[in-house]
Structure 1
Amino acid sequence: MIKISFPDGAVREFAPGITAMEIAKSISEGLARRILAASVNGEVWDLSRPIYQDAQLKLLAWDDKDGKSTFWHSSAHLMAEAIESMFPGVKFWVGPPVDNGFYYDIDLGDKHITEEDLRQLEVKMAELARQNNPFIRKEVPKVEAVSYFFEKGDEYKLDLLKNLEDGAITFYTQGGFTDLCRGPHIPHTGFIKAIKLTNIAGAYWKGDEKNKMLTRVYGVTFPSQKELDEYLQMLEEARKRDHRKLGKELGIFTFDDDVGPGLPLWLPNGGIVIEELEKLAKDTEEEAGYHRVVTPHIAKESMYLTSGHLPYYQDSMYPPMELEGVKYYLKAMNCPHHHKIFAAEPKSYKDLPFRLAEYGTCYRYEQSGELFGLMRVRCLHMNDAHIYCTREQFADEFRAVNDMYLKYFKIFGIDKYVMRLSLHDPAKLGQKYINEPELWLETEAMVRSVLIESGIPFVEVPDEGAFYGPKIDVQIWSAIGREFTLATNQVDFAQGRRFKLEFTNQENKAETPLIIHRAPLGTHERFIGFLLEHYAGKFPTWLAPKQVKVLPISDKFMDYANEVKKQLKAAGVRVEVDDRNEKIGKKIRDTELQRVPYMLVVGEKEMNEGKVAVRRQGKGDAGVVAVTDFVAQITKEIADRSSGE
C-alpha cells in the first residue's frame, strides 16, 4: 500500500497504481466531477496518471491556479484541433496557457485567419467540446515521434524534438488531434463550456525577428457561459479604465519618440499627482522615523561590482559610459547609494534602527517588446527605503513595514491583497543566489514568522527571492479585479558585509546590520497606472489634479465665481473657474468628463446669499451650502485623505 497525504493533514492508504481521479471518487462523486488535475508532490499531473509511491496530493479545481492553467492548456489543444479541421496542412509551434487564457502559434502557409474565421472556430470548438473526447497521454520513443512529425512535414515540432531526451517524450490525443506535449490536461473536452477567441497577432518563431512570422491566435475559455460573460464585461470595463487612455484624456503623462520609448513625460496634472503621493510618503515616513536622503543618478562600476548587482542585473542596466578611463552606470537601484550613506558616519547600536528614505530615480533597460504604458518603463521613481537594524530589531521593523502597507491599502481602498513570500532554490546557490545556505533558511524563517504572527495573508513561492535574501512581493487587485504587483519588502543578509557596514554593539564590538529593502508605494509609474485604472480616472479629492471647478451660469456672475475661487485657493484647494461662454449644461458635462471631484454652480441666488450649489462627480446635486461651510468641508476631506464617500 502507498500513503497519500492531503492538504488538511489527513493520510490515507491506497493500492499502488491508483489514480487521482479514483482517489477523488473515493471521497465523493461530486468532487470527482469538479476536479481538473492533481498536484502530486508539487508536480501537476493528469487525473488518469497512476501513482505508485507515497505522495502529497492536492486535487485541483477551476479555482486553483494550476487547475485553471491546465484547463486553458487543454483549450489550446481544442483550438488547434478546430484550426486543423478548417485549415488542413497547418503547422503548430507552441500553445501554452497564459495569465488570462491561452494562445497557439501556427504557420498557415499562404493563408490568413480573419475575424470571421475566429467566430467559425468558436463554433467548431464548441462542437468538438461537446463530444467529451478524453485527453489521452502516450509515452513515445523519440524515433517514433520524429517519424510522426517528419511524415506531417512539421519542421516546428521536429525542432522541439531535437532538445528532448528519449524516454521523456509524450503525445496527447483528443478526438482527431495529436500533439507533442508534456501535459498535463483535463480529463475530457466536455469541461469546456464557454469559448471566446479574442485576438490574432503576429509572432516571430522562437521570438527571433530573423525567423519567420507565425500567426498567434489568442483565446479564453470557462466552465460556464456565466463566467465568460462576467469576464467579457470585466474586459470591457478594463478597456474603459486603461491607464494609457485615461492618462492621455486627463493630461497625466505622455511619451515622445524624441525622448525615447519607456521614458514617460509627466504633464502638469501628473506632476500634481506625483507631488501628493510624495507628500503622503514623506508624512508617513517622517512619523515612522525615517531620514530623507538624495542620491546621484549615476555611479562608478566599482560600486555595482561591490554590491553584486552588476553580475546579476547587467542585462537590465543601461550600457556604461566611460569618462577618464572610468566606467559609470545609470542608477538601476538605490540600495548601494544608501549603503554608502550609512557608512559615511560611525554608528552604534543606539543609532539603530537607522532608516533611510528616498524617492529615487532609477533607469532599467526593459526590452522594447516588454514596454507597456506606465506599467513597464525604463525610468522609474521609486518609493525606496532601507532599514539597518540588529537581528533583535528585525521582527518589529519588518512588521512595521507591513503595517505601512496596510495603512496605504486603507487610504487607496485596496480591499484584496496577498503577500508573496519569495524564497531561494537551494540548487541555485552560488549562481542565482548568494551561497549562504544557513542564512537563507534563517532569514526565510524570520520573515515567515512575522507574517504568521501578523495574520497577513501570504503564499510561498520558490525560486523567486532576490539574490541577497528572501523578499515579499505585494500583489493587489483593483476595483474591477485586475491583479497588479505593487511593491516589495526584502531582507538582505549579504550587502552589509559586501560594503563592510558596521555598528558598535553593546559589547563595544563591530557588528554587521541586517538590511530591509522596502518600497510600499512601488514606483510613481506603476502605482499611478494602477490608480488610474482602480479609480477609473476619478481620483479622490486629495489626489485629484483639479479638485473644484466653479461654473458661473452666465458672465454676470463671473466676479462672484472668481471670489469663490479666491477663498478656496487661499485655503489650499486646487480650483479653476470655467469662464467659457457656454451653457451651464455643457459646462457640467465637460467637467464630468474631466473627472473633477466637485463642481460649484453659481447664479444670482447663490451670489446674493453667499452660497454655492454643489455637484459631486458622478453623483449629481449635493445641495446648496455657504461658501465658508464648503471650504471647511473640502479642506477636512483633503487633510484626512479620505475618499469623500
Structure 2
Amino acid sequence: MHLSTIRGIPPRQDNEEVCQNAWFLSHMSTTPKLSPIDTKRHSTAHILAAAIIDMFPEAKFGTGPVVDNGFYYDVDLPRTLIPEDLPILEKKMRKIMSRNDQFQRAEINIEEAKKRYEKSNQPYKVELIEDLMKQGEKEVSFYQCGTFVDLCAGPHIDSAGEINKEGFKLTKIAGAYWKADENRQQMQRVYGVLFDTKEELKQWQRQQEEAKARDHRKIGKELDLFVFSDLVGAGLPLFTAKGTLLRDLIVQKIQNLQKDFGYQRVTIPHITKKDLYQTSGHWEKFGDELFKVKGQSDQKFVMKPMNCPHHTQIFAGSPKSYKELPVRMMETTMVYRDEQAGELLGLSRVRSISQDDGHVFCRPDQIEKEVQNIVTVIREFYTSLDMFKEEKYWVSISVRDPQTPEQYLGDPTQWDKAEKILEDIAKKEHLPYKRVEGEAAFYGPKLDFMFKDALGREWQLATAQLDFVMPERFKLEYTSKEGKKERPVMIHRAIAGSLERFLSVIIEHFAGAFPTWLCPVQAIIIPVSDKFSDYAKKVARNLQKENIRVEIDNNNDTLG
C-alpha cells in the first residue's frame, strides 16, 4: 500500500479529558517531543491500527493518542468488538513487529491529502484535515510502516522490530464519542499498554490487580462512606455520616492550618448571573459545561463551576488601602460542572464538587511571603498523611512556553519576576522541583504538587497559582502608599482541591486504613456477650469524653 491509499490513525494527545483532536491540530505543523518509551507507544498504536485494518478492511479511523503506560485509539467498525478479538489483534501485531518494517515519513499538499482520504472513505480523517485547513495548514505529514499509512505528526521509532513483542498487551474495549461530543458518532476505543520489558508488563499487571482491590468505590461501600442513587443522578455522590465526618476532618485540618496565616472564612451563593462569568472570561471558554438555572425573571443564572469570581466581588465590596493587604479568603463549598455521563467515575469525576478553595489578594511585593505560607500549609497537611517525603512527591514549576508568548496575558516583566519568585521559593523550601515550560495557565505561573500513591501512581493534588488577569477583568484596585490606584495580584490556592477526587485518591492510597486522626472510627468495643453491653457503653462514653471516635459492635458473629 502506498500513500495514495490512506488508512490509519493520527498521533497522540496529552490526555483523554481534552477535545480528542486538540493535540492533533496543534502539532501537525511540527513534530512533538515524546520520551523514548512514549515514542514506542505511539508507534505501537500505528501497528494496532494496521492489525485492525487487516481484520476489518472497511474500518474508519478516528484519533489515537499515547496515554499513561500505553495508548488507545478510536475506530468505527462494522461490528462490535468482543474481548476474544484482542488476542487475535495481538497476534497480528506481533507478526508486524517480527517483520521489522521501517517507519518512513512523507509530506504532501493538504488538498491532495483530503482527496485521498475522501477516496479511501475515511470521513473522520477528512474532518481532521478540514480542521487543519481552517488553521491555515498547507501541508500534512504521513508515516508509513509496511503497508500501513497514516496521517501523523510523529515522532516514531525507526522500525517495528524495536518494540518488545512480549512487553505489550491490549487491555480493554470501550465506547467513545467522536471528538468527545455525545451528539456525534460513537466509536470503539481499543486500549493497550507497552513496556520495554516483559517483567515491567507483569509488574503493571500485578499493580492493576492491587488497584482493583483498592478501588475507592469498593472500599467506600465496605466502610459505609458514600452512595450513589439513580433517582438523584449520576456523578452526584451522597455522603453517609461516616463519609461526612471524613470530609469534615479534612476540611477542619486545612482550615486550622490556615488560621495561623490570617485566612478568614467566607460564604458565597451557589448560583450567579451569567454576567459574572462573562466578565471573568469563563463563559466564553466553558459556557457549555455550566448548569443553567431558570427562574421567574428573564435573567439567566447558572450553578457556579468555580468560586474565584465570587471572591473577587467580596474584595471589591469595599475600598482597600495598601495597608489592608493581603486579604486572604478560604471556603469549602460546592461547585457544579455538567460533565458528560461517559466521563463520570466514582468520586474521581463527579458533577457536584466540594472545592477546598482559597484566594489571596496582595501587592506584588507580598507574593513571595504569601506563596511561602501556602507551601507551609501544604507541607504540614501532607506530612500529617505521611505523603510529604522526597520520594513520594515533586513540584512542577509551571511557566510560560518561550516559543508562544502570545498565549499568555499580563505584563511580561511581571511574569519574569513571578516565575523567578516561584523558583526561589522552591529552592528556599528545599522542594524537589522541575521547571516545566508550557504548563503555566494563561493568567499566571503556578506551583503544582505531584504526589505518588501506594501503587506508584502520580496525582496533582495541591497548587498555588498566580493570577494577573482576573484582577484586571474585574477592575480590582487598592490605594497605594503614594495615593495611586493599583491592581492587586490574585493567588489561587488549593490544599486538597476537590474533596471528592482527593478522597478517591487517599481511600485507594491507604486502602481504607487511614491515619488515626483521619479515621471516622478510631476504636471499636466488642462485648463478647449481652451481659457486657452496659459495660461496653460505659467504656464508649469514657473514650468519647477524651474525643476518641468509638463504636460498639454488637454483632453476634464469633471473633474467630
Cα 1:106–1:382 change in 2 (3 A) is closer
Q: Tell me how far 1:501 sits from its aligned partner.
A: 3.7
In the TM superposition, what are the counterparts of 1:218-367 in structure 2 within 5 Å? 218-367=191-340
| 8 Å CA contact retained: 1:426, 1:437 | no
Q: Tell me how far 1:471 sits from its aligned partner.
A: 2.7
Aligned to 1:175: 146
Q: Secondary structure at the match of 1:539?
A: coil
Aligned letter for 1:451? A
Aligned to 1:73: 42
Aligned to 2:347: 374
Q: Tell me how far 1:395 sits from its aligned partner.
A: 0.7
Find 1:392's aligned residue among 365, 388, 397: 365
Q: Tell me how far 1:362 sits from its aligned partner.
A: 1.8
Cα 1:207–1:327 change in 2 (3 A) is closer
Aligned to 2:52: 83
Aligned letter for 2:102? P
Q: Secondary structure at the match of 2:491?
A: strand
| Equivalent-residue separation in structure 1 for 2:374 and 2:251 (angstroms) | 17
Q: Secondary structure at the match of 1:542?
A: helix
Aligned letter for 1:92? F
Q: Could you say what the CA RMSD is over the residues aligned between the two structures, in angstroms?
A: 3.1
Describe the superposition over 1:385-418 as per-residue Cα deviations: whole angstroms up to 9, x where unpaired.
Answer: 1122222221111122122212222111224223
Cα 1:207–1:285 change in 2 (3 A) is closer
Q: Tell me how far 1:326 sits from its aligned partner.
A: 3.5
| Equivalent-residue separation in structure 1 for 2:73 and 2:470 (angstroms) | 44
Q: Tell me how far 1:424 sits from its aligned partner.
A: 4.8
In the TM superposition, what are the counterparts of 1:148-167 in structure 2 within 5 Å? 152-163=120-131
Stretches of structure 2 lacking an aligned partner (at least 5 in a row): 1-26
Cα 1:369–1:522 change in 2 (3 A) is same
Q: Tell me how far 1:490 sits from its aligned partner.
A: 1.4
| 8 Å CA contact retained: 2:69, 2:195 | no
Describe the superposition over 1:284-307 as per-residue Cα deviations: whole angstroms up to 9, x where unpaired.
Answer: 011222122222222334444444
Q: Which moved more, 1:261-270 or 1:112-121?
A: 112-121
In the TM superposition, what are the counterparts of 1:11-50 in structure 2 within 5 Å? 44=31
Q: Which moved more, 1:347-356 or 1:483-492?
A: 347-356
| Equivalent-residue separation in structure 2 for 1:325 and 1:210 (angstroms) | 28
Normalised to the residue count of structure 1, the TM-score between the two structures is 0.74
Q: Secondary structure at the match of 1:130?
A: helix
Q: Secondary structure at the match of 2:256?
A: helix
In the TM superposition, what are the counterparts of 1:136-147 in structure 2 within 5 Å? 136-141=104-109, 145=113
Q: Secondary structure at the match of 1:227?
A: helix
- Whichever of the two has the greater Rg, that structure is 1
Describe the superposition over 1:251-296 as per-residue Cα deviations: whole angstroms up to 9, x where unpaired.
Answer: 2122223323322211111101011111101210112221222222
Aligned letter for 1:550? I
Cα 1:311–1:444 change in 2 (3 A) is farther
Aligned to 2:447: 472
Stretches of structure 1 lacking an aligned partner (at least 5 in a row): 1-39, 46-59, 586-645
Normalised to the residue count of structure 2, the TM-score between the two structures is 0.84
Q: Tell me how far 1:425 sits from its aligned partner.
A: 6.1
Aligned to 1:457: 432
| Equivalent-residue separation in structure 2 for 1:269 and 1:438 (angstroms) | 50
| Equivalent-residue separation in structure 2 for 1:305 and 1:87 (angstroms) | 48
Q: Secondary structure at the match of 2:328?
A: strand
Aligned to 2:393: 417
In the TM superposition, what are the counterparts of 1:186-197 in structure 2 within 5 Å? 186-193=157-164, 194-197=167-170
| 8 Å CA contact retained: 1:44, 1:66 | no
Aligned to 1:516: 491
| Equivalent-residue separation in structure 2 for 1:574 and 1:81 (angstroms) | 59
Q: Tell me how far 1:527 sits from its aligned partner.
A: 1.0
Aligned to 1:103: 72
| Equivalent-residue separation in structure 2 for 1:274 and 1:282 (angstroms) | 12
- Taking CA–CA contacts closer than 8 Å with sequence separation of 6 or more, which of the two structures ends up with the larger relative contact order? 2
Matched length: 525
| Equivalent-residue separation in structure 1 for 2:339 and 2:58 (angstroms) | 38
Aligned to 2:8: none
Aligned letter for 1:355? R
In the TM superposition, what are the counterparts of 1:124-135 in structure 2 within 5 Å? 124-135=92-103
| Equivalent-residue separation in structure 2 for 1:336 and 1:150 (angstroms) | 47
In the TM superposition, what are the counterparts of 1:473-622 in structure 2 within 5 Å? 473-585=448-560
| Equivalent-residue separation in structure 2 for 1:524 and 1:43 (angstroms) | 39
Cα 1:426–1:301 change in 2 (3 A) is farther
| Equivalent-residue separation in structure 2 for 1:209 and 1:507 (angstroms) | 56
